[in-house]
Amino acid sequence: MNILITGGTGLIGRRFINTVSGHQYTVLTRSPEQAKKNLPASVRLISSLSELTTLDIFDAVINLAGEPIIDKRWTKKQKAVISNSRWDITRQLVDLFRASSEPPAVFLSGSAIGVYGDQGDVMVDETFSSLPDDFAAQLCARWEAIAQEAASYTRVVFLRTGIVLDAQAGALAKMLLPFKLGLGGPVAKGEQFMSWIHIDDMVRAIEFLLVQSQAYGAYNLVAPEPVRNRDFTQALAAHLKRWAILPAPKKLLQALLGESSALLLDSQRVVPKRLLEEDFIFSFAEINSALNDLLKK
Protein backbone atom coordinates (compact mmCIF):
# COMPACT_ATOMS: atom_id res chain seq x y z
CA MET A 1 0.00 0.00 0.00
CA ASN A 2 0.93 3.63 -0.48
CA ILE A 3 0.00 5.18 2.89
CA LEU A 4 -0.21 8.80 4.01
CA ILE A 5 0.34 9.24 7.77
CA THR A 6 -0.13 12.42 9.76
CA GLY A 7 1.57 12.37 13.15
CA GLY A 8 4.01 9.81 11.78
CA THR A 9 6.84 10.96 14.06
CA GLY A 10 4.86 10.40 17.25
CA LEU A 11 5.03 7.27 19.40
CA ILE A 12 2.39 5.30 17.50
CA GLY A 13 3.13 6.50 13.98
CA ARG A 14 6.87 6.04 14.28
CA ARG A 15 6.52 2.51 15.66
CA PHE A 16 3.99 1.59 12.98
CA ILE A 17 6.25 2.72 10.15
CA ASN A 18 9.32 1.03 11.61
CA THR A 19 7.43 -2.21 12.28
CA VAL A 20 4.99 -2.71 9.42
CA SER A 21 7.09 -3.22 6.30
CA GLY A 22 6.04 -3.71 2.71
CA HIS A 23 4.34 -0.34 2.33
CA GLN A 24 5.29 3.03 0.87
CA TYR A 25 4.91 5.81 3.43
CA THR A 26 4.42 9.56 3.11
CA VAL A 27 4.57 11.39 6.45
CA LEU A 28 3.26 14.85 7.27
CA THR A 29 5.65 16.47 9.75
CA ARG A 30 6.44 19.96 10.97
CA SER A 31 10.10 18.98 11.38
CA PRO A 32 11.37 17.07 8.33
CA GLU A 33 15.00 17.20 9.46
CA GLN A 34 14.17 15.62 12.81
CA ALA A 35 11.90 13.08 11.12
CA LYS A 36 14.77 11.90 8.94
CA LYS A 37 16.60 10.78 12.10
CA ASN A 38 13.71 8.62 13.32
CA LEU A 39 12.20 7.18 10.16
CA PRO A 40 13.54 4.96 7.36
CA ALA A 41 15.24 6.75 4.47
CA SER A 42 12.57 5.46 2.09
CA VAL A 43 9.82 7.52 3.79
CA ARG A 44 8.68 10.57 1.84
CA LEU A 45 8.27 13.66 4.02
CA ILE A 46 5.97 16.62 3.48
CA SER A 47 5.62 19.65 5.73
CA SER A 48 2.10 20.72 4.70
CA LEU A 49 -1.00 19.11 3.24
CA SER A 50 -1.06 22.03 0.81
CA GLU A 51 1.63 20.09 -1.08
CA LEU A 52 -1.16 17.70 -2.12
CA THR A 53 -4.08 18.56 -4.40
CA THR A 54 -5.74 15.14 -4.14
CA LEU A 55 -5.18 11.80 -2.42
CA ASP A 56 -5.38 9.79 -5.64
CA ILE A 57 -1.88 8.32 -5.30
CA PHE A 58 -2.62 6.85 -1.85
CA ASP A 59 -4.32 3.60 -0.88
CA ALA A 60 -4.88 4.55 2.76
CA VAL A 61 -4.67 7.50 5.17
CA ILE A 62 -3.80 7.15 8.86
CA ASN A 63 -4.50 10.37 10.77
CA LEU A 64 -2.63 10.51 14.09
CA ALA A 65 -1.69 14.20 14.29
CA GLY A 66 -2.42 16.27 17.35
CA GLU A 67 -0.85 18.41 20.07
CA PRO A 68 -0.15 16.30 23.21
CA ILE A 69 -3.13 16.64 25.51
CA ILE A 70 -1.48 16.02 28.87
CA ASP A 71 1.77 17.98 28.75
CA LYS A 72 0.37 21.42 29.64
CA ARG A 73 -2.34 22.97 31.79
CA TRP A 74 -5.62 23.41 29.91
CA THR A 75 -5.77 27.17 29.60
CA LYS A 76 -8.23 28.61 27.09
CA LYS A 77 -5.33 29.12 24.69
CA GLN A 78 -4.00 25.57 25.16
CA LYS A 79 -7.45 24.07 24.64
CA ALA A 80 -7.61 25.88 21.29
CA VAL A 81 -4.16 24.55 20.33
CA ILE A 82 -5.13 20.98 21.29
CA SER A 83 -8.44 21.17 19.43
CA ASN A 84 -7.28 22.91 16.28
CA SER A 85 -4.24 20.64 15.89
CA ARG A 86 -6.69 17.74 15.48
CA TRP A 87 -9.69 19.32 13.83
CA ASP A 88 -7.90 21.43 11.21
CA ILE A 89 -5.75 18.62 9.79
CA THR A 90 -8.73 16.25 9.77
CA ARG A 91 -10.77 18.88 7.90
CA GLN A 92 -7.99 19.29 5.34
CA LEU A 93 -7.87 15.53 4.81
CA VAL A 94 -11.63 15.35 4.31
CA ASP A 95 -11.36 18.14 1.71
CA LEU A 96 -8.63 16.16 -0.08
CA PHE A 97 -10.81 13.04 -0.09
CA ARG A 98 -13.58 15.14 -1.62
CA ALA A 99 -11.23 16.45 -4.30
CA SER A 100 -9.97 12.98 -5.27
CA SER A 101 -11.26 11.12 -8.31
CA GLU A 102 -9.84 7.84 -6.94
CA PRO A 103 -9.71 8.37 -3.16
CA PRO A 104 -7.91 5.99 -0.78
CA ALA A 105 -9.93 2.94 0.24
CA VAL A 106 -9.67 3.60 3.98
CA PHE A 107 -9.32 6.51 6.41
CA LEU A 108 -8.15 5.53 9.91
CA SER A 109 -8.59 8.64 12.02
CA GLY A 110 -7.38 9.18 15.55
CA SER A 111 -9.60 9.55 18.58
CA ALA A 112 -9.37 8.54 22.24
CA ILE A 113 -11.35 6.80 24.94
CA GLY A 114 -11.63 10.25 26.50
CA VAL A 115 -14.79 10.47 24.39
CA TYR A 116 -16.53 8.39 27.10
CA GLY A 117 -15.64 10.68 30.02
CA ASP A 118 -15.53 9.52 33.64
CA GLN A 119 -17.75 6.43 33.96
CA GLY A 120 -16.62 5.06 37.31
CA ASP A 121 -16.87 1.26 37.44
CA VAL A 122 -19.22 0.98 34.45
CA MET A 123 -17.90 -1.32 31.73
CA VAL A 124 -17.84 0.67 28.49
CA ASP A 125 -17.70 -0.63 24.90
CA GLU A 126 -18.29 0.98 21.51
CA THR A 127 -22.08 0.85 21.91
CA PHE A 128 -21.96 3.30 24.82
CA SER A 129 -23.77 6.46 23.75
CA SER A 130 -24.22 8.63 26.88
CA LEU A 131 -21.30 10.90 26.02
CA PRO A 132 -20.53 13.72 28.48
CA ASP A 133 -19.84 17.39 27.72
CA ASP A 134 -16.39 17.77 29.31
CA PHE A 135 -13.47 19.07 27.23
CA ALA A 136 -11.84 15.73 26.35
CA ALA A 137 -15.13 14.12 25.36
CA GLN A 138 -16.22 17.04 23.19
CA LEU A 139 -12.74 17.26 21.64
CA CYS A 140 -12.95 13.62 20.50
CA ALA A 141 -16.60 13.79 19.47
CA ARG A 142 -15.93 16.77 17.19
CA TRP A 143 -12.75 15.11 15.84
CA GLU A 144 -14.75 12.02 14.88
CA ALA A 145 -17.60 14.06 13.41
CA ILE A 146 -15.23 15.85 11.05
CA ALA A 147 -13.60 12.57 9.97
CA GLN A 148 -17.02 11.01 9.40
CA GLU A 149 -17.64 13.55 6.61
CA ALA A 150 -15.23 11.47 4.49
CA ALA A 151 -17.57 8.46 4.67
CA SER A 152 -19.09 9.37 1.30
CA TYR A 153 -15.70 8.75 -0.29
CA THR A 154 -13.99 6.05 1.77
CA ARG A 155 -14.22 3.59 4.68
CA VAL A 156 -13.82 5.57 7.91
CA VAL A 157 -12.54 4.04 11.18
CA PHE A 158 -12.11 5.92 14.48
CA LEU A 159 -9.16 4.77 16.60
CA ARG A 160 -10.40 5.33 20.17
CA THR A 161 -7.05 4.87 21.86
CA GLY A 162 -6.34 4.25 25.54
CA ILE A 163 -3.05 4.65 27.42
CA VAL A 164 -0.37 3.30 25.09
CA LEU A 165 2.38 1.55 27.06
CA ASP A 166 5.95 1.74 25.74
CA ALA A 167 9.08 1.81 27.86
CA GLN A 168 10.80 4.25 25.51
CA ALA A 169 8.15 6.97 25.22
CA GLY A 170 4.74 8.03 26.44
CA ALA A 171 3.11 7.60 29.84
CA LEU A 172 5.03 4.51 31.01
CA ALA A 173 8.41 5.97 30.09
CA LYS A 174 7.64 9.05 32.20
CA MET A 175 6.75 6.87 35.19
CA LEU A 176 9.88 4.74 35.19
CA LEU A 177 12.35 7.16 36.80
CA PRO A 178 10.21 8.16 39.81
CA PHE A 179 9.25 4.53 40.38
CA LYS A 180 12.88 3.43 40.15
CA LEU A 181 13.72 6.08 42.74
CA GLY A 182 11.03 4.73 45.06
CA LEU A 183 8.83 7.80 44.52
CA GLY A 184 5.99 6.04 42.77
CA GLY A 185 2.52 5.49 44.11
CA PRO A 186 -1.18 5.47 43.25
CA VAL A 187 -2.99 8.50 41.88
CA ALA A 188 -5.38 9.70 44.58
CA LYS A 189 -6.96 6.57 46.12
CA GLY A 190 -6.08 4.52 43.05
CA GLU A 191 -9.64 3.28 42.57
CA GLN A 192 -10.07 4.68 39.05
CA PHE A 193 -9.82 2.27 36.14
CA MET A 194 -7.06 2.63 33.54
CA SER A 195 -7.62 1.32 30.03
CA TRP A 196 -4.25 0.60 28.45
CA ILE A 197 -2.70 -1.14 25.46
CA HIS A 198 0.81 -2.49 24.74
CA ILE A 199 2.45 -0.59 21.87
CA ASP A 200 2.88 -3.82 19.89
CA ASP A 201 -0.85 -4.58 20.10
CA MET A 202 -1.61 -0.98 19.15
CA VAL A 203 0.42 -1.33 15.97
CA ARG A 204 -1.09 -4.73 15.18
CA ALA A 205 -4.64 -3.42 15.74
CA ILE A 206 -4.07 -0.53 13.32
CA GLU A 207 -2.68 -2.94 10.75
CA PHE A 208 -5.70 -5.22 11.31
CA LEU A 209 -8.19 -2.39 10.77
CA LEU A 210 -6.27 -1.20 7.74
CA VAL A 211 -6.96 -4.39 5.80
CA GLN A 212 -10.33 -5.50 7.24
CA SER A 213 -12.67 -4.22 4.54
CA GLN A 214 -15.76 -4.66 6.73
CA ALA A 215 -14.33 -2.56 9.59
CA TYR A 216 -15.83 0.91 9.95
CA GLY A 217 -16.84 3.29 12.71
CA ALA A 218 -15.47 3.36 16.27
CA TYR A 219 -13.04 0.79 17.67
CA ASN A 220 -11.64 0.84 21.21
CA LEU A 221 -7.90 0.29 21.02
CA VAL A 222 -7.36 -0.98 24.55
CA ALA A 223 -6.42 -4.31 26.11
CA PRO A 224 -9.30 -6.61 27.19
CA GLU A 225 -8.46 -6.22 30.90
CA PRO A 226 -8.49 -2.64 32.23
CA VAL A 227 -6.99 -2.29 35.71
CA ARG A 228 -7.48 -0.02 38.68
CA ASN A 229 -4.72 2.53 39.11
CA ARG A 230 -3.62 1.02 42.42
CA ASP A 231 -3.24 -2.41 40.79
CA PHE A 232 -1.25 -0.96 37.91
CA THR A 233 0.95 0.86 40.42
CA GLN A 234 1.65 -2.27 42.41
CA ALA A 235 2.34 -4.31 39.26
CA LEU A 236 4.82 -1.73 37.95
CA ALA A 237 6.55 -1.45 41.33
CA ALA A 238 6.82 -5.24 41.60
CA HIS A 239 8.42 -5.52 38.16
CA LEU A 240 10.91 -2.82 39.12
CA LYS A 241 11.45 -4.37 42.58
CA ARG A 242 10.57 -1.11 44.31
CA TRP A 243 8.05 0.15 46.83
CA ALA A 244 5.16 2.29 45.60
CA ILE A 245 3.68 3.89 48.69
CA LEU A 246 3.68 7.62 47.92
CA PRO A 247 0.22 8.57 46.61
CA ALA A 248 -0.37 11.67 44.52
CA PRO A 249 -3.18 13.45 46.41
CA LYS A 250 -6.24 14.39 44.39
CA LYS A 251 -6.36 17.99 45.63
CA LEU A 252 -2.68 18.51 44.87
CA LEU A 253 -3.13 17.23 41.30
CA GLN A 254 -6.14 19.46 40.80
CA ALA A 255 -4.19 22.45 42.12
CA LEU A 256 -1.18 21.75 39.90
CA LEU A 257 -2.94 20.63 36.73
CA GLY A 258 -6.34 22.22 36.93
CA GLU A 259 -8.95 20.76 34.60
CA SER A 260 -6.43 18.49 32.89
CA SER A 261 -6.06 16.50 36.14
CA ALA A 262 -9.17 14.66 34.93
CA LEU A 263 -6.90 12.64 32.62
CA LEU A 264 -5.34 11.09 35.73
CA LEU A 265 -8.35 11.04 38.05
CA ASP A 266 -11.23 9.96 35.80
CA SER A 267 -12.15 6.28 35.72
CA GLN A 268 -12.53 4.60 32.33
CA ARG A 269 -13.23 0.88 32.28
CA VAL A 270 -13.18 0.48 28.52
CA VAL A 271 -13.09 -2.83 26.65
CA PRO A 272 -12.35 -3.61 22.95
CA LYS A 273 -15.64 -5.36 22.18
CA ARG A 274 -15.50 -4.90 18.41
CA LEU A 275 -11.89 -6.07 18.01
CA LEU A 276 -12.63 -9.19 20.05
CA GLU A 277 -15.82 -9.91 18.09
CA GLU A 278 -13.81 -9.70 14.87
CA ASP A 279 -11.24 -12.22 16.19
CA PHE A 280 -8.34 -9.87 16.77
CA ILE A 281 -5.96 -11.65 19.15
CA PHE A 282 -4.10 -9.55 21.72
CA SER A 283 -0.52 -10.57 22.42
CA PHE A 284 -0.73 -8.81 25.80
CA ALA A 285 -4.21 -9.03 27.29
CA GLU A 286 -3.29 -8.45 30.95
CA ILE A 287 -1.01 -5.94 32.61
CA ASN A 288 1.64 -8.23 34.09
CA SER A 289 2.48 -9.87 30.77
CA ALA A 290 2.63 -6.43 29.13
CA LEU A 291 4.92 -4.93 31.76
CA ASN A 292 7.12 -8.01 31.79
CA ASP A 293 7.65 -7.72 28.04
CA LEU A 294 8.17 -3.96 27.99
CA LEU A 295 10.55 -3.77 30.93
CA LYS A 296 12.75 -6.70 29.93
CA LYS A 297 13.36 -4.89 26.62
Beta strands 123-124 and 60-63 are: unpaired
Mean pLDDT across 124-146: 94
Mean pLDDT taken over the chain: 95
pLDDT score, position 34:
85
The predicted pLDDT at position 48 comes to 95
Give the per-residue pLDDT at 251: 93
Can you tell me the distance from the alpha carbon of 90 to that of 65, in angstroms, rounded to the nearest whole number?
9
Q: What is the pLDDT of residue 292?
A: 97
Q: How far apart are CA 85 and CA 121, in angstroms?
A: 32
For residue 280, name the pLDDT band (cuts at 50, 70, 90).
very high
Distance of CA 220 to CAs 20, 173, 197, 273, Å? Answer: 21, 23, 10, 7
pLDDT of residue 131: 83
Check whether 85 has a pLDDT greater than 90.
yes
What is the pLDDT, as a whole number, of residue 82? 97
In this prediction, residue 32 carries a pLDDT of 85
Question: Would residue 75 be called left, alpha or beta, if left means φ above 0 and alpha means ψ between -120 and 50 degrees?
Answer: beta
Question: pLDDT: is 33 or 23 the higher one?
Answer: 23
Fold of 2-162+199-223+269-283: Rossmann fold (3.40.50)
**Residue spans per domain, the chain:** 2-162+199-223+269-283
CB 114 within 8 A of CB 137: yes
Cβ-contact 16, 206 below 8 angstroms: yes
What's the confidence (pLDDT) of residue 70? 87
Q: What is the tens place of the pLDDT at every residue in 86-133?
A: 999 999 999 999 999 999 999 999 999 999 999 999 999 999 988 898
- 225-270, pLDDT tens digit by residue? 999 999 999 999 999 999 988 899 999 999 989 999 999 999 999 9
What is the pLDDT, as a whole number, of residue 37?
Answer: 87
Instruction: Record the pTM.
Output: 0.94
pLDDT of residue 244: 85
